[in-house]
Amino acid sequence: MAIVSEQLAKRYWPNESPIGKRIMYFRDWLTIKGVCGDVKHGALDESSPGMLYVPYPQVGPELMQFVARNLNFVIRSPSPAVVATGARGAIRELDPLMVVKVNTMENLIHASVAQPRFRTWLIGIFSIFALSLASLGIYGVIAYLVTQRYKEIGIRLALGATRGNILQLILGRTCTLVAAGMVSGLFAALFLARFLNSILFGITAHDPLTFIAVPFGLVAIALLAGYVPARRATRVDPVISLRYE
């Protein structure tokens, strides 16, 4: 009798149920009685291997000496420290030479995600710096373009253009630049995102929500960065702007 994981079942019986099938386990043929979920033993970002679960009485003595070297017991208790002391003492009474390691599930989970979490924080900090530099760059470019068009803005105002028209003109130019940058950035992200697969789990490198939310966020930041010079352009005195060199 044996139980197989979903990964193992999909690998050897992709389009049928493995229940009742037979599988070779060392020198014995075992009948599959059930399928369980995949388990990640090392880290959350690892690919789950196919697993075969067999009761200890069915394991031969030559293999049992290796299988039983590491045993994990899960104990639920509101007082982990008290239970740890009692469990360690009970096990040492049975075998004083046995090495006993006690840990809480919270610490195990924290240790398993510590390195990915650090990398994520690091990427997040650099992303914030990059976003800040991009916002300053957009503001600088739009402000420079506005100063280059002071004469044009003065002529438009002298001919009857409203402040709303000037604001629409500058923000329209901002949207054009942002759209061009967003399209090129999306193409680059689609290609470069595959390098992030090693530090992601639970989502894919081409997560649709990310590729939708981030561009809209960048557009909002770009419009905010372009609004200040656009607002300044609406307050230009036509007489002064016509004399601007």
Provide the pLDDT for residue 89: 84
Question: What's the whole-model pTM score?
Answer: 0.58
Q: What CA–CA distance (Å, rounded) separates 129 from 150?
A: 32
Full DSSP string of 104-163:
-HHHHHHHHHHHHHHHHHHHHHHHHHHHHHHHHHHHHHHHHHHHHTHHHHHHHHHTT--H
Residues in a beta bridge with 19: none
**Block means of pLDDT (10 residues each) for the chain, length 245 residues?**
85 86 80 85 71 76 64 78 81 80 81 80 86 80 76 78 81 82 82 70 71 80 77 72 58
Provide the pLDDT for residue 177: 80
Provide the pLDDT for residue 66: 63
Q: What CA–CA distance (Å, rounded) separates 7 from 1?
A: 18
The structure tokens listed for 12 are 């050897």
Residue 21 dihedral angles phi and psi, to the nearest 5°: -75, 160
What are the boundaries of each domain within the chain? 2-71, 113-242
Provide the pLDDT for residue 198: 64
Under 8 Å CB-to-CB from 6, ≥6 apart: which residues? 35, 36, 37, 38
Provide the pLDDT for residue 240: 66
Provide the pLDDT for residue 199: 65
The structure tokens listed for 117 are 């979490």
On whether the CB atoms of residues 233 and 155 are closer than 8 A, the answer is: no
